[in-house]
Homo-oligomer: A and B are copies of this chain.
Amino acid sequence: MESFNNPSSRPGEPIRVAVDAMGGDHAPRETVRGAVAALDNHDMELLLVGDVGEVEAELDKYDLNGRAVKVVPSVGKIGDDEHPMHAFRRKPEASVIVGTRLVKGGEADVLVSLGSTGASMATAALVLGVMDGLERPCIGGPFLGLAPRTVLMDLGSNVDCRPSQLLNFAALGSVFAHRFLGTENPRVALLSVGSEQSKGNRQVQESYELFEQSHLNFVGNVEGMDFFNDKADVIVCDGFVGNILIKFTEGMGTALGGYLSRQLAPYMSEEQMKGVFSELWQTTNLPRTMGGPLFGVNGAVIVGHGSSRAEGVSGAINTAVRYVEMGLLDSMREELAEISRNGLTGDSR
């Protein structure tokens, strides 16, 4: 493969990963534990952003053995219950803001955040800036263990979308599928209620035309069951539909665990079932185990699920390191520019 120019990476040097140590339901205990564990897997420097006293108390639990860990002070955190924009102004030294500034200033190559996704997005948009052609960042990636190479965009950041926005999401997802997941010429599809062009709501019908005119490998509409049929590599919907689907899947995984434990009790021990269900849970909760990039911002930010334990934190750091290594940002900007050159954006859409 050719080599890629990533402005924030320094070839041959360890990747500098900033982690919002205060973000997530189990911070800083689990964020620090997961981050320290990740040091074993990568040639990386760890920048733990948070309350110095709290973070150092957690760090004291581990034998760091001279590994590259730095604590970067911050003041306070932004909660899920806060309005992201208000909090951004009221708490300028909050951990997610300090962490994002490290990326902006070139002191870190990537930020991993397990805190409020809304706060991560707003902060990234304000501090790093949004790529030309987008109004706000978008989130996406594989969300089903049963279809680990199928990328769904958007997962919840843009609930009302014009066709041109969906096309931009498709372009970002296509780069991710190609470069991060290694899928050649990713098949892009619109999520709809039937495969024919005439099927779907107004948004999808208008988008169909636009997608057809684009340079993407558009294969048409897919339906809900097609997540399991390998019909497309990148499936595009607005964040309203995407968010409902991802939460539905999570809920179903948990509920199926309970259901199957009754069904399987005659055949297996509790211990054996535990193993099966833990696998099943991961299969329906992929984003919790690996996090996902914040697409469309001028810098690398990986968001993980707020409920992540140490394993989820390590998984998100793993995603972060690979994301930086691949240097996808330039390719993404280029894809968005291609759409713009073809005249497929604009207010009229």
Contacts and interface: CB of A to CB of B under 8 A. Distances in A.
A223 B239 CA distance: 13
A82 to B, nearest CB: 12
A107 B279 CA distance: 55
Contacts of A248: 224-225, 227, 245, 248
Nearest to A247: B224
Contacts of A227: 248, 251-252
Count copies of this chain in the complex.
2
Interface string A187-200: 00001110000001
Nearest to A196: B81
Interface string A207-237: 0000000000000000111111100000001
Contact of A276 (B147, B156, B229, B263): B263
A240 B201 contact: yes
A116 to B, nearest CB: 12
A164 to B, nearest CB: 17
A259 B224 contact: no
Given A201-B160, A255-B146, A244 B247 contact: no
Interface stretch (A45-53, A69-77, A98-106, A264-272): A264-272
A283 interface: yes
Nearest to A238: B201
Contacts of A6: none
A256 interface: yes
Question: Which of A147, A250, A264 neighbours the largest number of chain B CB atoms within 10 Å of its CB?
Answer: A264
19 contacts: A146-B252, A156-B193, A192-B240, A193-B239, A200-B240, A201-B240, A204-B240, A223-B243, A224-B244, A224-B246, A228-B254, A248-B248, A249-B252, A260-B280, A263-B279, A263-B280, A264-B267, A267-B267, A268-B268
Given A193-B244, A227-B248, A228-B254, 15 more contacts: A146-B259, A159-B193, A191-B244, A193-B239, A224-B247, A225-B248, A225-B250, A225-B254, A227-B251, A227-B252, A245-B245, A248-B248, A263-B276, A267-B268, A267-B272
